[in-house]
Amino acid sequence: MSNSSQLVDDAEFRAWVASTTGIGGRQLGDIVSRSRRAARMVDLRAAESDTDVEVLLLQSSDFQECSQFVRSQLRRAAKLLVAFRQAK
């Protein structure tokens, strides 16, 4: 299993994101990277929905210190990671 804070296999996650969203290339790599970062900020294993992701991230001081632009990217990546884990 690769990184993403050991939650998922990066190659599987990358393939799933590409097939479900049509995202590829550098943007796909950014999503994987942001999902790792979000998983280091909060325990995404506790999240079962988009709302759970929002609540967990909003409780993180590391998340609050990020710019609005980065917070938006972290939210999206974390939600995709949780959706991927549920789809498995």
Residue 22: predicted pLDDT = 96
Rounded to two decimals, the pTM is 0.90
Q: Residue 88 and residue 83: Cα distance in Å, rounded?
A: 9
CA atoms within 13 Å, Cβ hemisphere of 69: 0
Quote the CA–CA distance of 53 and 42 in Å, as a whole number: 9
The per-residue pLDDT for range 2-57, each reduced to its tens digit, is 334 457 899 999 999 999 999 999 999 999 999 999 999 999 999 999 999 999 99
| Residue 55 CB neighbours (<10 A) | 13
Domain residue extents for the chain: 4-87
Compute the distance between CA of residue 84 and CA of residue 88 in angstroms, rounded to an integer.
6
